[in-house]
């Protein structure tokens, strides 16, 4: 039976000292008995018998330094077992390989070696196009707030596994009134007021999603979701992968993101880049009312965890939304807001307000701007941006978040990698300033991006002054 | 029944809950499978076949065995932290799949992509296998939320350790669980050490069964080394949760023989302490003694069971050693589901 091998105390240990034998030849040992003590520079550990038997051989003297992992150190034979080549490795690995212990040692190191062939390429994401609207469809003017509210009401009506939970979503009708009237229509079982307990209810919702429900979690603002970010990333985003595709987390985390007005540093932050960093998440940040509705409906139906970043400042802005039974927009598709040939401006969410106003000024001044609204940040529609830059040779990005590691930084890298030869000027980023958000009105204004900065960036990349 | 009364009653009962010989035999098999499986896992870790973190359940076998015997298999959900191998074995997940996940092979329960701390089964209603201390408590409350939402009469069994019991989200979950009377049993596996920190050094109060007091959640301390006591208390707790009365806390007083993980030299406790538990309180030896003393099983019969279990473990180790590594293409699968 077993030949005892020098064990590893950690994945990085290669050798150690056999400091002490606690058995001698002829001793009878039971499973769990301590056979020896070994030590490395980091730790001391006991080697225990896994199987019972009689100690027949001690191959390494105590006090020996530098004993390599997987070196045979002792032989313990069970009842009726005899020393033989065939049974040595079998006891260690359960393998019937007659090659002996060298094969064992080799087998033991296989997983650590980089013997795999190179990894396959990352699958390329291809977004679907927006659906064609039915001819003559009525376009209704509504606020982003109404659009989001309609999206949730329609999906709650459609699927009884969908429910919404969060602080003040029910009786108070929503801190920002996005959940208005939902309690009345769907009842307290499906429109659930929570205590102020972001970490807890985010985790609870993820657990409910594992069990097959489709939660919509409203964070009063994304600033408070910092308390819950572990559950969003470690539990929701990684679950499908960690389970080898078995356990899903079909759910939406949503609420207002980004700077509001005069609320100070802890309540004014854009998390777009943070969440867009994480594989397993889908991240959506709409600007228009139609996109808010069509994308939130698609998000609720998505089998994946979706981070849906709204913007408080945009809740009251209006836009035209098609009046349809089921208006769904594809996740992962950018929208070309204006076609043009001179320069590409890419933005999303509130950044689109600055970008749109800048575009109006620039077009008036004779610059033919192509304006792209990303809408979805992960998966990111690189294709649309790259195609545009190949045409214009110039890119300006606009976002409210901090510049370092931001969405603009990511777009800049992708354009460098995929369209470097087409660039006629360096990519320029317009972003929030690299400071915590100040309270004072004048300082806050300085910290945020603005229309003039976008115009100046476009002038710079088009070499107009 | 008031919480205090329950706890007192459990401690002072003169007529201890008894097992039938059949129940003892079932418990013996389950616990022995965990013990032998974990010993083999430790051995394979030592050989470099298992990497990273590997937290063994040796010593704590009676907890998950007693709880699972009191639950409805396939209906009640279970979720735990990273010390999860025992839970899966008792719930009926394939030992080959568990061991192959430990070795990171394609036949592992998570295709080799999860590892020791991340295995799951929708079919058996096992939800992990969670590596962030305390996260499983909120998730477990969510499993109970889903049960109540659907009215499906299932109970969620959420395990965590004495270390996790000091995490904030545990109390957020206690609050919501009682507020909404969710069918969840919180099972605190108190093995006395959060990694290297004893409960005395980490906890302002060390009676974890009382941690639900301010939420009006009943709790009791249970001898977690005696599978009969675990079973008895779990029946009570599960019935409480299933009948709509809300959450229940069971503090299982247990002990791990090995270090926190494979790379822990366990210098923070004495050898005498470990030896005392092994010799006087071992959950498997207790059942074995009852089976032999009652004349229900002979030494030979128990040896035959031991051989059967060794064969299962050897088969698992064999499979896990020889199975292929995942195809490189698996790197890019299961990240999101295409709509």
3-class secondary structure, B165: helix
Q: Sort residue B176 into left (φ over 0), alpha (ψ -120 to 50) or beta.
A: alpha
Neighbours of A403 (CB within 10 A): 18
Residues contacting residue B117 through CB under 8 Å, at least 6 positions apart: B53, B55, B81, B82, B84, B128, B129, B130, B131
A48 catalytic per annotation: no
- Does residue B33 lie within any of the structural domains? yes
Record: contact A119-B112, CB cut-off 8 A? no
**Tally of domains in chain B:** 1
**Tally of domains in chain A:** 3
Q: What is the pLDDT of residue A53?
A: 87
Measure CB to CB from residue A93 to each of B128, B168, B317 and give the nearest one: B317
Q: What is the pLDDT of residue A231?
A: 98
Closest approach of B172 to chain A, Cα-based (Å):
5
- Does residue A328 lie within any of the structural domains? no
| Mean pLDDT (whole number) for B311-319 | 97
CATH number of the domain to which A362 belongs: 3.40.50.920
Claim to verify: residue A83 and residue A167 sit in the same structural domain? no
Quote the percentage of chain B above a pLDDT of 90: 88
Claim to verify: residue A374 and residue A312 sit in the same structural domain? no
- Does residue A248 lie within any of the structural domains? yes
Record: contact B143-A208, CB cut-off 8 A? yes
Q: What is the pLDDT of residue A302?
A: 98
Claim to verify: residue A454 and residue A425 sit in the same structural domain? yes
Claim to verify: residue A446 and residue A350 sit in the same structural domain? yes
CA–CA separation, A342 and A377 (whole Å) = 24
CB < 8 Å to A111, chain B: 48-49, 51, 103-104, 325
Instruction: Give the range of the structural domain holding residue A89, as residue numbers without chain letter.
Output: 3-110
Nearest chain A residue to B77 by CA distance is A211
pTM as predicted: 0.89
Q: Is B127 near chain A, with CB under 8 Å?
A: yes
- Does residue A329 lie within any of the structural domains? no
Claim to verify: residue A218 and residue A345 sit in the same structural domain? no
**Per-residue pLDDT at B108 exceeds 90:** yes
Claim to verify: residue A305 and residue A409 sit in the same structural domain? no
Record: contact A301-B339, CB cut-off 8 A? yes
Claim to verify: residue A30 and residue A156 sit in the same structural domain? no
Of A103-117, B136-150, B244-258, the one with minimum mean pLDDT is A103-117
Residue B265 banded pLDDT, cuts 50, 70, 90:
confident
Claim to verify: residue A317 and residue A341 sit in the same structural domain? no
Measure CB to CB from residue B113 to each of A10, A43, A241 and give the nearest one: A241
Q: What is the pLDDT of residue A88?
A: 45
Q: Which of A198, A218, A399, A400 is flagged as catalytic?
A: A198
Helices H / strands E in chain B, number of each: 12, 7
Between chain A and chain B, the number of residue pairs with CB atoms below 8 A apart is 231
- Does residue B330 lie within any of the structural domains? no
Record: contact B145-A93, CB cut-off 8 A? no
Q: What is the pLDDT of residue A117?
A: 60
- Residue by residue, DSSP assigns A207-249 as HHHHTT-EEEEEPSSTTGGGGGHHIIIIIIITHHHHTTT----
CA–CA separation, A213 and A194 (whole Å) = 17
- Does residue A117 lie within any of the structural domains? no
Q: Is B116 near chain A, with CB under 8 Å?
A: no
Q: What is the pLDDT of residues B180-223, one digit of tens each?
A: 999 999 999 999 999 999 999 999 999 999 999 999 999 999 99
Residue B339 banded pLDDT, cuts 50, 70, 90:
low
Closest approach of A45 to chain B, Cα-based (Å):
5
Looking at every residue in chain B, the average pLDDT score rounds to 93
A198 catalytic per annotation: yes
Instruction: Give the range of the structural domain holding residue B90, as residue numbers without chain letter.
Output: 3-9+18-322
- Does residue A176 lie within any of the structural domains? yes
Q: What is the pLDDT of residues B3-31, one digit of tens each?
A: 444 444 444 445 789 999 999 999 999 99
CATH number of the domain to which B201 belongs: 3.40.50.970
CB < 8 Å to A199, chain B: 138, 168-169, 172
Closest approach of B278 to chain A, Cα-based (Å):
10
Q: Which of A267, A277, A360, A444 is flagged as catalytic?
A: A267
CA distances from A9 to A16, A67, B35, B58, B185 (A): 9, 13, 20, 17, 36
Q: Please list the ranges in chain A whose pLDDT falls under 70.
A: 1-2, 11, 80, 82-119
Claim to verify: residue A376 and residue A311 sit in the same structural domain? no
């Amino acid at each position: 039976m077993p030949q005892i091998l020098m064990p590893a105390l950690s994945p990085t240990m290669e050798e150690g000292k056999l400091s002490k034998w606690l058995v001698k030849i002829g001793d009878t040992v039971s499973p769990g008995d301590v056979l020896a003590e070994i030590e490395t520079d980091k730790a001391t550990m006991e080697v225990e018998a896994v199987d019972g038997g009689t100690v027949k051989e001690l191959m390494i003297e105590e006090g020996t330094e530098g004993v390599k992992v997987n070196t045979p150190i002792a032989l313990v034979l069970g009842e009726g077992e005899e020393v033989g080549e065939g049974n040595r490795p079998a006891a260690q690995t359960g393998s019937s390989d007659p090659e002996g212990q060298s094969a064992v040692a080799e087998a033991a190191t296989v997983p650590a070696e980089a013997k795999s062939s190179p990894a396959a390429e990352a699958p390329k994401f291809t977004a679907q196009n927006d659906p064609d609207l039915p001819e003559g469809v009525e376009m209704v003017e509504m606020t982003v707030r109404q659009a989001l509210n309609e999206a949730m009401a329609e999906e709650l009506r459609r699927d009884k596994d969908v429910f919404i939970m969060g602080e003040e979503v029910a009786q108070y009708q929503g801190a920002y009134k996005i959940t208005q009237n939902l309690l009345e229509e769907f009842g307290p079982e499906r429109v659930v007021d929570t205590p102020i307990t972001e970490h807890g209810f985010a985790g609870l919702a993820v657990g409910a999603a594992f069990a097959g429900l489709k939660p919509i979690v409203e964070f009063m603002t994304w600033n408070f979701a910092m308390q819950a970010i572990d559950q969003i990333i470690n539990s929701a985003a990684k679950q499908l992968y960690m389970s080898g595709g078995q356990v899903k987390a079909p759910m939406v985390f949503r609420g207002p993101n980004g700077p509001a007005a005069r609320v100070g540093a802890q309540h004014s932050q854009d998390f777009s880049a943070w969440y867009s960093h994480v594989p397993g998440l889908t991240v959506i940040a709409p600007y228009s009312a139609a996109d808010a509705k069509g994308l939130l409906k698609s998000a609720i139906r998505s089998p994946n965890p979706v981070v849906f970043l709204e913007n408080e400042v945009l809740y009251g802005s209006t836009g035209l939304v098609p009046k349809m039974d089921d208006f769904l927009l594809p996740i992962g598709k950018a929208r070309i807001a204006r076609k043009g040939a001179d320069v590409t401006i890419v933005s999303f969410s509130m950044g689109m307000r600055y970008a749109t106003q800048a575009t109006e000024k620039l077009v008036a001044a004779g610059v033919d701007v192509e304006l792209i609204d990303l809408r979805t940040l992960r998966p990111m529609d690189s294709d649309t941006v790259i195609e545009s830059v190949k045409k214009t040779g110039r890119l300006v990005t606009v976002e409210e978040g901090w510049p370092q590691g931001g969405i603009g930084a990511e777009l800049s890298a992708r354009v460098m990698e995929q369209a470097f030869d087409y660039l006629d000027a360096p990519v320029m980023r317009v972003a929030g300033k690299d400071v915590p958000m100040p309270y004072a009105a004048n300082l806050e204004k300085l910290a945020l991006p603005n229309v003039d900065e976008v115009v100046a960036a476009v002038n710079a990349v088009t070499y107009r002054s | 029944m008031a919480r205090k009364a329950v706890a007192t009653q459990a401690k002072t009962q003169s007529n201890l809950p008894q097992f039938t010989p059949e129940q003892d035999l079932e418990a013996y098999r389950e616990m022995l499978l965990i013990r032998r499986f974990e010993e083999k896992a430790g051995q394979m870790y030592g050989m470099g076949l298992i990497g990273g973190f590997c937290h063994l359940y040796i010593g704590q076998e009676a907890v998950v065995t007693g709880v699972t015997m009191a639950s409805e298999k396939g209906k009640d959900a279970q979720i735990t932290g990273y010390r999860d191998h025992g839970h899966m074995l008792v719930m009926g997940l394939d030992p080959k799949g568990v061991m192959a996940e430990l070795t990171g092979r394609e036949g592992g329960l998570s295709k080799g992509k999860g590892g020791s701390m991340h295995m799951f089964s929708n079919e058996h209603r096992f939800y992990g296998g969670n590596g962030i201390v305390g996260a499983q408590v909120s998730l477990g409350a969510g499993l109970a939320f889903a049960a109540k939402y659907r009215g499906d009469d299932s109970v969620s069994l959420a395990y965590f350790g004495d270390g996790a019991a000091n995490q904030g989200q545990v109390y957020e979950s206690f609050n919501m669980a009682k507020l909404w009377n969710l069918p969840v049993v919180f099972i605190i596996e108190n093995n006395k050490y959060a990694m290297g920190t004893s409960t005395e050094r980490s906890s302002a109060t060390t009676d974890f069964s009382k941690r639900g007091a301010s939420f009006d959640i009943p709790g009791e301390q249970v001898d977690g080394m005696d599978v009969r006591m675990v079973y008895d208390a779990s029946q009570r707790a599960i019935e409480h949760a299933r009948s709509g009365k809300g959450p229940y806390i069971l503090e299982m007083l247990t002990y791990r023989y090995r270090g926190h993980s494979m790379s822990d030299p366990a210098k923070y406790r004495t050898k005498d302490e470990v030896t005392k538990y092994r010799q006087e309180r071992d959950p498997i030896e207790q059942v074995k003694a009852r089976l032999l003393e009652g004349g229900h099983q002979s030494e030979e019969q128990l040896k035959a069971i031991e051989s059967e279990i060794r064969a299962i473990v050897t088969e698992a180790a064999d499979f896990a050693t020889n199975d292929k590594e995942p195809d490189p293409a698996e790197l890019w699968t299961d990240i999101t589901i295409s709509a």
